[in-house]
Amino acid sequence: MELARSSEHDGMNSIVGEEGAGFDAGAHPLFARMPSSVSFNKLRKRLLRQTRQALDDFGMLKGAKRWLVGLSGGKDSYSLLALLMDLQWRGLLPVELIACNLDQGQPNFPKHILPEYLTSIGVKHRIEYRDTYSVVKEKVPTGATYCSLCSRLRRGNLYRIAREEGCDALVLGHHREDILETFFMNLFHGGRLASMPAKLLNDEGDLMVLRPLAYAAEDDLAKFAAAMEFPIIPCDLCGSQDGLERNAMKAMLADIERRMPGRKDTMLRALGHVNPSHLLDAKLFDFQSLSPESQE
């Protein structure tokens, strides 16, 4: 295992970890605290099945060799890394994984947690410090949420790191609820039908952006993360809260699911069953040429 010291200096980084031989889930440090209960086993199998299904449905493994896995320290990204490592152990993911955390200079960010955890489980990783927090503070008006600009700056840095590490894809932990919330935000506020794609080619055309948890429910990921005892880092260290629009969509979807269980899955399926001829976009369907067949 090659070890290096993580740096706290702007622009400095380190690679820590081991080359990706397979591992036994029962012995690997990542799974040391894995519960043995039937309920957890079912949860784990469900998440693995959904992750593998997304990988297959969207051709995420096509040409894949090396992935940069974005790790924020939240429940979703921890779960993503664990599930990918689980699939890797089973021989179903022939891809090298590098976990990457971008320390954005948020106040009170616990710098030691991720390096210590990732080193303890023996996963190859890179920790990089970039003070984007100061940039966001300077650019965003008082009282406005930081999340949008913060996210764009983080994504740009992750693209750069992926290129530096020779990765062909950036892998993110967005789940079913993230996709549905984004769809309704675009519908209500943007006047368009669009969401987060499970697979996206970046604007420069040199990196794929993958979301293998597209089919996974947020509640399942929360239960999985709690059972695995991941050292969670809160996402509100900067004092800003997520946008009111997304919170409103989250509340709306939760209310619909409470009153009509199963609707989230139905809505997610709808995003994969689009009928352009039954919408109003003339760019997607040739309405001009549509006419009844002539009768003799």
Binding residues are: 147, 150, 238
**CB 40: neighbour CB atoms within 10 A?**
15
Burial 71-89 (b: 16+ CB within 10 A, else e): bbbbbbbbbbbbbbbbbbb
Q: How far is CA 52 from CA 6, 60, 67, 215, in A?
A: 32, 10, 16, 10
What is the residue type of 257?
E
Tokens coding 174: 């967005």
277-280, Cβ contacts within 8 angstroms, sequence gap of 24 or more: 279/193
Distance of CA 274 to the CA centre of its chain: 24
Residues of the binding site for [4Fe-4S] cluster: 147, 150, 238
- First and final CA of the chain: distance in angstroms? 79
CA distance 156 to 153: 5
240, 107 in Cβ contact below 8 A? no
| 17 vs 1: CA distance, rounded Å | 6
Q: Going by C-beta distance under 8 Å and a sequence separation of 6 or more, which residues neighbour residue 27?
A: none
CA distance 233 to 279: 43
* Of residues 182, 199, 153, the one with CA closest to residue 161: 153
Identity (one letter) of the amino acid at 69?
V
* CA distance linking residue 149 with residue 276, whole number of Å: 33
